[in-house]
Each structure stands twice: as structure tokens, then as C-alpha cells.
Structure 1
Amino acid sequence: MAERSTGLPSQRQVIELLDGEFARAGYDIEDVVIDAATRPPRITVVADRDGGLDLDAVADLSRIASELLDDLDSPPYVLEVSSPGVDRPLTDEKHYRRARGRLAQFTLTDGSTLTGRIGPVGDGTVGVVVREARKNLEVRDIALDAITKAVVQVEFSPPSPRELELAGVSGEDA
């Protein structure tokens, strides 16, 4: 049975159409999800940059996306521009850089797990601030290729100033 066309642009088409303008505005397109099963259909563009997205950025990117997508001959749809969710796995060096100062759980290639605060990132490694025995803090440099999975954790209380200092961020940056 042939797949019925929805008339909506494909994920590839949306990325190709928006990528240049988003990049000029300083943002990366992390994902595009097209949900033709909802009524009305929904096109979600997930974007990010160092420093994250604020409401003004989301509004600007939504306007840019809307103007570019309006040129397509497609049925009505809902456009949503958002930042990646906190549960997005960290898979690229830029993801770690953007999550600096955040608490994350890591699964390493040897099967071990580690929870720590993301610190400096560069040269294929990430510094992770961990609590050792007797509650001492230390920074462990972990090769990115030794990490099989890393996910930012939700925190309900603020980290200690020393932990943030070791992660290389000030309290205002976190």
C-alpha cells in the first residue's frame, strides 16, 4: 500500500529551508518533528545555541520559521519552536558545552555509571565534578567516546558554590 501524502513538507525540507536563517541568527536546528496524525498537523522545530533559548529568541525563531514555511503550498498546521527538553541525551560536544554546570548521569563504555556536574569541555573530553569518599569534590576528565549515554538530571536544590566553581561556572551562569 502506498503511503498517502499529507501535503506537509518533509523533515529534510524543513531543515533545508530553515537551517541557513537559523544559523545566521546564531542557532542550530537540533531536530524537526512532523506529526501529521494530530489535528491540525504539527511541525515542531527544536533549536539550541550556547546560552540556550529565552522567550524572545523563541518568538524571533518562530517568526523566521513561519515566514519561510508560509511560502510552501501546504495544508494548515501548527508551528512550534522550542529548545531541547531536559531529558534529551547529550550526544555531541556542543551539547555538553551547553549543559555546563548541570548535573548529569553518565553511562560509560565499561558499563559503569557516574553522576556529576558537567564542567569544562574540549579536546574530546568533558570534566565531570564528582563527590568522592568523605564528600570531597574532584574533577574527572572523561573522554567523550568513553560515554555511551549522558542525560541531564532535574535538580530540586541548588548546587554548592564550590561545585559550581569546579565546574567553571558562576552562580549566575547556572
Structure 2
Amino acid sequence: MAGRSTGLPTQKQVIELLGGEFVRAGYEIEDVVIDDRPRPPHITVIADGDKPLDLDTVAELSRSASALLDSLDSDDPYVLEVTSPGVERPLTTEKHFRRAHGRKVDAELVDGTIVTGRLGTVSDGAVDLVVRARGDWAVRRIPLAEIVKAVVQVEFSPPKPRELELAGAAGTEAGA
């Protein structure tokens, strides 16, 4: 396929056009997916930041992104979606680990072992992982270079206060 016949902007154009607006709101565009198969075509902007993307922020970013995209020289209709990467996205950069601070993760290490723990501090190319060891909580420092894959886990029950305390996560309770 030589090019788009729909007159839609390219991924690069969308990122250049919307990037500044997202940064001002405290988010970065991680990816833009343009699907011109459905009618009308869909433009999905995936954004992430140090604070989670909530519904009010999604609505605000969607309005401003739509206005900016509408200013392009195209009359073609499209569907715009602004979303977060989702929990199934693997953590691949120090920034991803930092943003997932306090969350429970499964991490596969270069030696093939799987470590499950709560993300603590990320610094100097390593992460503190709060793990269960001999019936108690312990902090294990793991270089990011030794992590092959890490994925945030969905939790159905609240974490233990001591586990959160060791991870340095907000909302900890003392004395537990």
C-alpha cells in the first residue's frame, strides 16, 4: 500500500501535533495507532504519566486533541480514543517501573526465575522489589538489566501495610 487514501494524519504528525498539549497536562504520548479499516477510521492515542490517567483527564485531553486534529487540512471523519497503556503492557524502561511504584509485578529474570513482588524505589538502573521471604517481607534490589520481562498484576485484595511500607508506597499504616 503506497499511502493512505483517507487523508488521515500519519502517526508522526499526530505525535508532533498533540505532544505539547499532552506534556502540559503531565503525560507523554507512548504510541499512536491509526486504523483506517473501519469506517470512520480510528485514531488511538496511548498516553502515560507519573500519575494515572483518570476519566476527567481523558475527556480533557480528548477534547483538546480533537480540536487540534480538526485543525488539520482534512475533512475526513475519524473516531479518536485517548487511553492509557493498560496493565498488560510489559514494563520495559526505568520510567515504566517508576510509574508502577507500589504495584505488584511478576518479573522474569535472565536466569529464567520468576520473582513476584511489589515495586519499590527505582534508581541507578535497579529496582527494589518487596518479596515474601521466610514468612516475612524483604527488599530485594534487582538491576533492570537482569529483568527480561515484568508485568503488573491485577490485585483483588489490598496489600499488607508492612509490604506497602517497605515499598515506600503512599497510604501505609504504621505498626503493622
Q: Is TM more than 0.5 here?
A: yes
Instruction: Give the superposition deviation at 1:147.
Output: 0.9
Amino acid in the other structure paired with 2:113: S
Structure 1 residue 101 corresponds to structure 2 residue 102 = yes
Pair 1:160–1:86, CA change in 2 (3 A): same
Secondary structure of the corresponding residue to residue 118 of structure 2:
strand
- Runs of 4+ aligned residues of structure 1 deviating over 2 Å after TM superposition are 1-6
Paired amino acid for 2:110: T
Q: Measure the CA separation in 1 of the matches of 2:101 and 2:124.
A: 15
What are the superposed Cα offsets for residues 48-104 of structure 1, whole Å, 9 maximum, x if unpaired? Answer: 111211122111111121111011233101001111201111111111111111111
2-side partners of 1:118 and 1:49: how far apart?
Answer: 17
Separation in 2 of the partners of 1:4 and 1:25?
A: 31
How far the C-alpha of 1:25 sits from its partner, in A, is 2.1
Match of 1:23 in 2: 23
When the two structures are aligned, how many residues end up with a matched partner?
171
Question: Which residue number corresponds to residue 67 of structure 1?
Answer: 67
Q: Which runs of 5+ in 1 are unaligned?
A: none
Q: Write out per-residue CA displacement over residues 103-137 of structure 1, whole angstroms, 9 at most, x where no aligned residue.
A: 1111112221111111111111111011113x211
Matched letter for residue 168 of structure 2: G
Partner of 1:164: 164
Identify unmatched segments of 5+ residues in structure 2. none
Provide the rounded CA distance (Å) in 2 between the counterparts of 1:91 and 1:6.
34
Structure 1 Cα separation of the partners of residues 17 and 42 of structure 2: 17
The match for 1:37 is 37
Q: How far apart are the structure 2 equivalents of 1:122 and 1:56?
A: 31
Higher alpha-carbon deviation: 58-67 or 159-168: 58-67
Corresponding residue number in structure 2 for 1:111: 112
Percent identity over the alignment is 68
In the alignment, the residues of structure 1 paired with residue 4 and residue 97 of structure 2 have an alpha-carbon distance, to the nearest angstrom, of: 40
Q: Secondary structure at the match of 1:96?
A: helix
**How far apart are the structure 1 equivalents of 2:86 and 2:38?**
21
Amino acid aligned to 1:90: L
Q: Normalising by the residue count of structure 2, what TM-score does the alignment of the two structures yield?
A: 0.91
d(CA) in 1 for partners of 2:90, 2:164: 22
> Take 2:13 and 2:3, find their aligned partners in 1: how far apart are those partners?
18
User: Which SS does the other structure have where 1:13 is aligned?
Assistant: helix
| Partner-residue secondary structure (3-state), 2:7 | coil
Q: CA deviation at 1:21?
A: 1.8
Q: Which residue of structure 2 aligns with residue 14 of structure 1?
A: 14
Q: CA RMSD in A?
A: 1.5
Normalised TM-score (structure 1):
0.92
Following the alignment from structure 1 to structure 2, what is the Cα–Cα distance between the partners of residues 4 and 84?
26
2:124 alignment counterpart: 123
| Structure 1 Cα separation of the partners of residues 100 and 2 of structure 2 | 43
Name the residue aligned to 2:152: 152
